[in-house]
Amino acid sequence: MAQDYLGNTVTSDNEATRAAIDDFVGGFLGYETRAENIAAAADADPDNPLANAYAGFLWMFLEAPEAPARAAAYLDRAERQAGRATRREQLNIAVLRAWVEDDLPKTLRLSDQLSDEYPRDLAIAKLHQYLEFNRGNSPEMLRVAAKVLPHNADVPHAHGLAAFAYEQCHLLDQAEGAARRAIGLQRKEPWAQHALAHVLLTRGQVEEGAVFLESVSDTWQGLNSFMYTHNWWHLAVFYLSRGRNQQVLDIYDRHVWGIAKAYSQDQIGAVQLLTRLELAGVDVGERWGDLADHLAVRQNDTVQPFLSLLYLYGLARAGRPEADTLLVAFARQAEEAPEHSRETWRDVALPAGRGLLAYARGDHEEAVRHLALAVPRLVVIGGSHAQRDLFEQVLLDAAHRAGRWVLAQQWLEVRRNGDPASVPVNRALARIYTQLGLPAEAAGAAERLQQILARVGAAPGSAHRAGAVSA
């Protein structure tokens, strides 16, 4: 029988369908646009069970309320042909059914079973990791990767899966080793590049991280919009730490916003970067307006709490009334969401949403009150350490603006331990130590700031807006 490029048996006599299946698997693992070819192949070969199951998966990755309905047509085709499919293909169809029905526990159980029986089915291992990532279960991400890696030592993407799982578990040495192994096997392994960027950011190796991403940016061709924009986003975060503000704005305009404006991940990456720029004191001009125009359709979107929180903040920051509508949807989820996610909505996403809305509207005491409840438990909403760090930054800025100098000093010094040469952190400390009546510490922070700016060649007032404090 025919096989995919990883050696898994495929039910198909159609060469074009088999090629599209390989495009989906390889493109999914490598974040390449060729994964999208599976939709046309499934339409051209409606009786192929696996091609239609994969097309259903593709629609589910849309991360939008309409995704299950769009996937259902392909699921129906796949199920009608399941009798002639292999067991592995039948399990893939069952995974899709459970996912479309929002039965997350069953989706995870079936994915685990599939990887046990067919460890070379790396698309399912990747899907399993994705679902665990979205609920903050990093140890399970690592277990999935560790289970399949011995069977896939020759596959760069498998080492990339392990690298990011290690990093999210704070196992930085193992993460770096796995990432470098993946990149050694295949230089264009964007997920491993991304994992290594996380490691370097967490260690405070900002200059090294920027140089590394610059050195591999030529490989970011043919990637889907998420991976392309997200790796540029990481480079922007490195630049922002060193006060290279104009370069960050250029990255936002050229590489982060405008690639696929309707896509969830592009939208939340843009919200993240504009917010970080403003927290660092940078004037972003009129950029919120265009972004909010594309976020407006998300006013009832509660597919994932992490995504929804960023939609809400983007809308609120732009002064759009849809932010209030979305917060009402949060409250509804807190009461009506499936059992597997209801607590996350009730105890974390809803107070975080209230805090973000208050912050965007200038009520900093209210923002501190709500965000302080949510931030310690944010891991359950999904997102990476680096992405969730934004919410801590907002809480820190709200504390400063509310005159909570002691809280701000404590959090800022913890941040400085992780990145001693951060321009925004040292700028904020200079101001806060002045407020606390500690002139020597304020002078020390100001001196560090000038030394950093001189070293990186950034103008002290470059695109800077007074008052912001975070990093």
CATH number of the 394-456 domain? 1.25.40.10
SS3 label, residue 2: strand
pLDDT in tens, 72-120: 999 999 999 999 999 999 999 999 999 999 999 999 999 999 999 999 9
DSSP 362: T
**Whole-angstrom Cα distance, residue 82 to residue 155?**
29
Q: What is the mean pLDDT of residues 126-145?
A: 98
The rounded mean pLDDT for the chain is 95
Confidence of residue 171 (pLDDT cuts 50, 70, 90): very high
State if pTM tops 0.75: yes
CATH 1.25.40.10, the chain: domain bounds: 394-456
SS3 label, residue 299: coil
CATH fit for domain 1-135, picks 1.20.950, 1.25.40, 2.30.30, 1.10.1740 = 1.25.40
| 294-301, long-range: CB < 8 A, 24+ apart | 294/261, 294/262, 294/267, 295/267, 295/271, 295/320, 295/322, 296/320, 296/322, 298/267, 298/322, 298/326, 299/323, 299/325, 299/326, 299/329, 300/65, 300/325, 300/326, 300/329, 301/64, 301/65, 301/326, 301/329
pLDDT in tens, 11-43: 999 999 999 999 999 999 999 999 999 999 999
The answer on pLDDT for 465 being more than 70 is: no
| Burial tier of 180 (Cβ tally within 10 Å: 0-12, 13-18, 19+) | middle
| Burial tier of 234 (Cβ tally within 10 Å: 0-12, 13-18, 19+) | buried
pLDDT in tens, 187-237: 999 999 999 999 999 999 999 999 999 999 999 999 999 999 999 999 999
Confidence of residue 457 (pLDDT cuts 50, 70, 90): confident
Q: What percent of the chain has pLDDT over 70?
A: 97
The answer on pLDDT for 467 being more than 50 is: no
Q: What is the mean pLDDT of residues 404-410?
A: 93
Q: Residue 291: which H helix or E strand, with range?
A: helix 287-295
Q: What's the confidence (pLDDT) of residue 459?
A: 43
Q: What's the confidence (pLDDT) of residue 455?
A: 86
What SS3 string covers 248-268?
HHHHHHHHHCCCCCCCHHHHH
The answer on pLDDT for 451 being more than 50 is: yes
Q: What's the confidence (pLDDT) of residue 456?
A: 77
Q: What's the confidence (pLDDT) of residue 466?
A: 36
SS3 label, residue 465: coil
pLDDT in tens, 312-361: 999 999 999 999 999 999 999 999 999 999 999 999 999 999 999 999 99
